Chains A and B, each alone.
Chain A
Amino acid sequence: MARAFTPKVITANHLLEGDVIYMTDTGEWTRELCNAVLLTDEADADLRLLEAQQQVDEVVGVYLADAKTDDNGNPTPTHFREEFRRTGPSNYFHGKQAEA
């Protein structure tokens, strides 16, 4: 049996900057995970992924990443890899954590 679908966000790296970006509800890209859209329907997620992958001159390496809702109702990572992507490295105060 296929595994049950778990909620996802669409994420990628920005083509020019290389930094981590997420797709919003309106199909724009945002640099903050809290502004991303959390997709709970598998067919919808697959379709939006395909659309996102078409934007070759803006983004690189689009994929669906597992996420859940935090206490404020915003998407938040379920895995530590995505936590690092949204925060930045732990050895320096660089990356997103320094830009917020």
Chain B
Amino acid sequence: MYQYNDFDSAFLAERNVQFRAQVARRIDGSLTEDEFKPLRLMNGLYLQLHAYMLRVAIPYGTLSSAQMDKLALLAEKWDKGYGHFTTRQNIQYNWPKLNDVPDMLDALAEVNLHAIQTSGNTIRNVTADHFAGAAADEVADPRPVAELIRQWSTDHPEFQALPRKFKIAVSGAIENDRAVIKAHDIGLYIVKNDAGEIGYQIVVGGGLGRTPMIGKTLKEFVKQEDLLSYLEATVSVWNLLGRRDNKYKARIKITVHEHGIEEIRQRVEDRFQLIRPTFGGFDVELLKEIETFFANPTFKSASTDTYTAAYDADPLFRSWADANLATHKNADYSIVTISLKKHGDTPGDASADQMRAMAELARLYGHDELRISHEQNVILPHVHKSDLPAIYAALKEHELHTANIGLISDIIACPGMDYCALATARSIPVAQQIATRFDELKLEHEIGHLQIKISGCINACGHHHVGHIGILGLDRAGVENYQITLGGDATNSAAVGQRVGPGFAYDEIVPAIERTVQGYLELREDENETFIQTFNRVGMAPFKAFIYPEAQANAA
């Protein structure tokens, strides 16, 4: 893992001292809220419906055990004993007190964590494939380049007052995009050219929110040594062109849409030629240095017999292994996804005890590494197969053993009206009820791979546009109302889901989802055809007939 150097630590300490003073001046009345708000937002502190909320960055989703322990401590000492992991690979604390926040930030700094640039019109926490460095299918580990981008973008003087927020994501596995690259302002795929050299495919102008757009390829191949200057050129072109007159049109997706990808490409190219010489190779040196922090752990060689024995003997373990394990680049290892989606619980929430339990498992069996996925789960990226039965047993003790990764109850949900000041409806209880319902029906393994994503307003923090089934909560004349979209796709074949039709009331949405899924089960060719494949084959009309049976009956 990346270790802070003296510069990083001093920078963070200085920022925390500044923020402590800013909080003190706010409390003694010498700063008004209008003056204080941008300062607190720069340090990840929001005001939500019932309390403040502190958003802590987990750069590219990577945590050590010590860091996870610290997150648990914060949850226990200054919050209500839990934290909420988000689609942006952050953790949010829902109940901090203003006075306590400087102490929370100091505690985080002890383990090199912070909340800088988790808000505001800056380049936000860089996200990455949560299987980075472990996946069998990746060209290269995306974390070194994510760290490079983080260092370049943090406190970058030119990019502290951008037209709007700016989100960058990196994946090393273009064939199996797990980082929703095409829904980011800039997405990078690490690729190899014909000569076998590593470089980057740059995707620009993706984004969700009120105007969802799938990113377009800006350049097929940018050489490693050109990456930072090319990114800087891209952000600075947008920084000038971006619509500062209208915050709904300020994101780069609109700039790309209004000017066209060709014009943007030309402008970026011109700017790139201009600034490239000023980089002078330091970035290449830095990347090399960073890469040394992300070397493989020393994989052990041992027999995997205990795993095979447990797999054959214990159907519950087998079910968990089938759903929650992914292929590691080392054949004796597995990638373990720990589900934070126990049926009926809040997606993405973990208690302090659970965080400590996961930290301990990483320490004992996982080379001290944890990841947070944008799907709001926790990953142990490097686990020797012989340790899996012990891990499963430990997870069970902490109710962390739900076998549902990629299944219908593995739902992404934003905080919605239960916490968020911008919400138009709740999302968490909808997720809880869907998961509970399909668990009762005992159908979820039969349904297979199906992603439901729920947002509590058009800002789309819950990624509903790219859910196979998307649910958007709205306020219709003072009542919660939910719109369903189908056919969204968060992978390399990214697509924005299409609206099915009129929305559903709070107590009608779960039955409507049930009808959607029933429809799929009847429409699919066989059990190997996933929901999204069926939808892409048959289209909207047959699904509509299931979702609105009355309309069908009336028309008949």
Contacts and interface: CB of A to CB of B under 8 A. Distances in A.
A85 interface: yes
Interface string B398-430: 000000000000000000011100010010110
B29 A57 contact: yes
Interface stretch (A15-23, A32-40, A68-76): A15-23
Nearest to B35: A56
Nearest to A13: B47
Interface stretch (B91-99, B243-251, B269-277): B91-99
B51 interface: yes
Nearest to A94: B80
B: contact size bracket? 20 to 34
Contact of B33 (A18, A56, A80): A56
Candidate in B33, B429, B480 with the most chain A CB atoms within 10 angstroms: B33
A80 B432 CA distance: 19
A90 interface: yes
Contacts of B48: 18
Interface string A64-100: 0000000000000011110011001111101110000
In the complex, which of the residues A61, A85, A89 has the most CB atoms of chain B within 10 Å of its own CB atom?
A89
Nearest to A81: B417
Of A79, A88, A95, the most chain B CB neighbours within 10 A belong to A95
A91 B98 contact: no
Contacts of A57: 27-29
B311 interface: no
A49 B218 CA distance: 50
A15 B31 CA distance: 12
Contacts of A79: 478
Interface string B53-95: 0000000000000000000000000001000000000000011
Most buried by B among A15, A78, A91, A96: A91
Given A20-B49, A60-B33, A85-B50, A91 B97 contact: no
Contacts of B364: none
Contact of B98 (A15, A84, A96): A15
A89 B27 contact: no
B151 interface: no
B50 A18 contact: yes
B417 A84 contact: yes
A91 B432 contact: yes
B98 A16 contact: yes
Given A56-B33, A89-B419, A80 B480 contact: yes
A34 to B, nearest CB: 18
B95 A94 contact: yes
B32 interface: yes
B346 interface: yes
B161 interface: no
Interface in B13-32: 26-29, 32
A91 B27 contact: no
B295 interface: no
B159 interface: no
A17 B95 CA distance: 9
B33 A91 contact: no
The 5 A-B pairs with the shortest beta carbon distances in the complex, nearest first, are A57-B29, A89-B418, A18-B51, A18-B52, A95-B50
Interface of B: 26-29, 32-33, 47-52, 80, 94-99, 346, 417-419, 423, 426, 428-429, 432, 475, 478-480
Given A18-B97, A89-B418, A96-B50, 15 more contacts: A16-B97, A18-B52, A20-B49, A57-B29, A60-B33, A81-B423, A81-B475, A84-B49, A84-B418, A90-B426, A90-B429, A91-B346, A91-B418, A91-B428, A94-B94
